[in-house]
Amino acid sequence: MREVKVGIIGLGNVGLGTLRILAENAAQIELKLGFRLSVRVVCSRNPAAKQLPDAFRDVPRTSDWKQVVTHPEVDIVAELVGGTTVASEIVQAAIANGKSVVTANKELMALAGAEIWDRAIAAGINLAMEASVAGGIPIHAVLREGISGDRIVALYGILNGTCNYIMTEIERCGADFAEVLAEAQRLGYAEADPSADIDGADARSKLAILAALAFGERITPDDIYTEGIRRISPVDFQYAERLGHTIRLICAARQSKQGLVLSVRPSLIPRGTILASVQGAYNAVWVRGRYGEDTFYYGKGAGPEPTGVAVVSDLMRVAREIRRGSPERVSPFAHERLGEYRPIPVETQKSAFYLRFRVKDRPGIIATLGRILADRGISIDAVLQLPSDSKDDLPFVITLERSREAAVREALEQMRTLDFMVEDPLAMPMETAL
């Protein structure tokens, strides 16, 4: 029985995790497939320096990816390089050479996945990207096949493990953002340059991919309103707790009357919901379907082996297609063709809000702020002030009933210029729909 042959490009953490699983789990993989999945060639910048599993000691190594994508025996190219420059060339060249592609590359698939899929269809090859979002959670298989019959109404994700680790650590030990970030960097949970994680760009790419899959529209990262977590402080968790909530960086995609609304932003979510129980470097996705109602998926968001499982599972699926010799296959975006997306600004939407202020205390502050809100027709739900001994930097919170975000932003713009403000007010939506 003919085996299917794989070329692996990129021997970083994910590449080595993938090879380890392919080596150690080879017998079970063959039992499931009914044929062998073999590694024909591996490629990395300095391939001699890499320690491969014994089973692959004799597999040819190269530092020239072109040798992999043009290799006459390679059926599937696994692009595990990341980024949008060389990786893009690799994927395009693989497709041009009639190779199917498995990729773990969220940036590339978020930016250009729909175009790449169009080329894959034209070339009659397959494209798979389970590893690109939420490594250990098979959310692509779920949306593409498991619940494909449903009509998704909303999807909420915790998709960045670094941010979730930082948020739950601030919550757990009450330390400042900067302190927790430094500790996360020391432990390897955050990069030396953490901005892609903590400013939301990583989560945004992941949401672009999942929203395209769930809603069948062509979404790129620029379509998504994005705020990072730098301004979240321990006091916000104290107030959130008093309000029966916690705070997470929530990636949200939901159908509104106007269309699909997309955002990545720190948000208050009710304690006691299953999404609020996601701790540390875990990822989770909450899906609300018109028919299937609520489903929830949870697992490791990253790591060589959880992500490696996603790559290997994709390799198995694509290998089956190749053995079958059939060009028809399930789109990695669940829809054969994606529709055009017309972004809906979050400002047009209504939400309950949490506003946190730091002020120099003096009489009349609430009256002033209340007037600014009332002038725009915004109703206050509650005013909270936890005990504090600082008159010069006094934190307190106002929560708002459901209000249009544009009006809230106008009010905030006016408030920030008031002379008693120590810093700009912080606003977060309160997710009551979960």
CB of 7 to a copy of itself, least distance (A): 17
Nearest C-alpha neighbor of 173 from the set 184, 157, 159, 161:
184
Report the residue number, 168 or 313, with the smaller CB distance to a copy of itself.
Answer: 313
Cβ burial of 178 (10 Å; 0-12, 13-18, 19+) is exposed
Question: Residue 165 has which token pair?
Answer: 């680790």
Residue 194 CA to residue 45 CA, distance in Å, equals 24
State the pairing for strand pair 100-103/260-270. unpaired
Report the residue number, 295 or 385, with the smaller CB distance to a copy of itself.
Answer: 295
Residue 396 CA to residue 135 CA, distance in Å, equals 39
Residue 109 CA to residue 230 CA, distance in Å, equals 27
What residues line the site for a copy of itself (CB under 8 A)? 17, 20-21, 25, 28-29, 31-34, 130, 136-138, 140-142, 145-151, 216, 274, 277, 289-300, 303, 305-306, 308-313, 315-317, 320, 323-324, 326, 328, 330, 334-336
CB of 16 to a copy of itself, least distance (A): 12
φ, ψ dihedrals at 232, nearest 5°:
-75, 130
CB of 120 to a copy of itself, least distance (A): 15
> Is 206 in the active site?
yes
Report the residue number, 137 or 426, with the smaller CB distance to a copy of itself.
Answer: 137
Report the residue number, 44 or 283, with the smaller CB distance to a copy of itself.
Answer: 283
DSSP for 1-38?
---EEEEEE--SHHHHHHHHHHHHTHHHHHHHHSS-EE
Q: Which residues have a Cβ under 8 Å from the Cβ of 266 and sit 6 or more positions away?
A: 167, 227, 228, 229, 232, 247, 248, 249, 250, 428
Question: Residue 239 has which token pair?
Answer: 């107030």
Q: What DSSP character marks residue 143? A: I
| Angular region, 272: left φ>0, alpha ψ -120 to 50, beta rest | left
CA 29 vs CA 20, 56, 169, 214, 248: distances in Å: 13, 16, 38, 29, 37
Q: What angle do CA 24, 313, 65 make, to 5 degrees?
A: 85
Report the residue number, 21 or 373, with the smaller CB distance to a copy of itself.
Answer: 21
CB of 405 to a copy of itself, least distance (A): 29
Catalytic residue among 5, 206, 360, 391: 206
Report the residue number, 145 or 401, with the smaller CB distance to a copy of itself.
Answer: 145
CB of 313 to a copy of itself, least distance (A): 4
Do you know the residue count of the chain?
A: 434
CB of 314 to a copy of itself, least distance (A): 8
Report the residue number, 17 or 194, with the smaller CB distance to a copy of itself.
Answer: 17
CB of 297 to a copy of itself, least distance (A): 6
CA 243 vs CA 187, 208, 353, 409: distances in Å: 32, 31, 12, 22
Indicate which residues carry an active-site annotation: 206
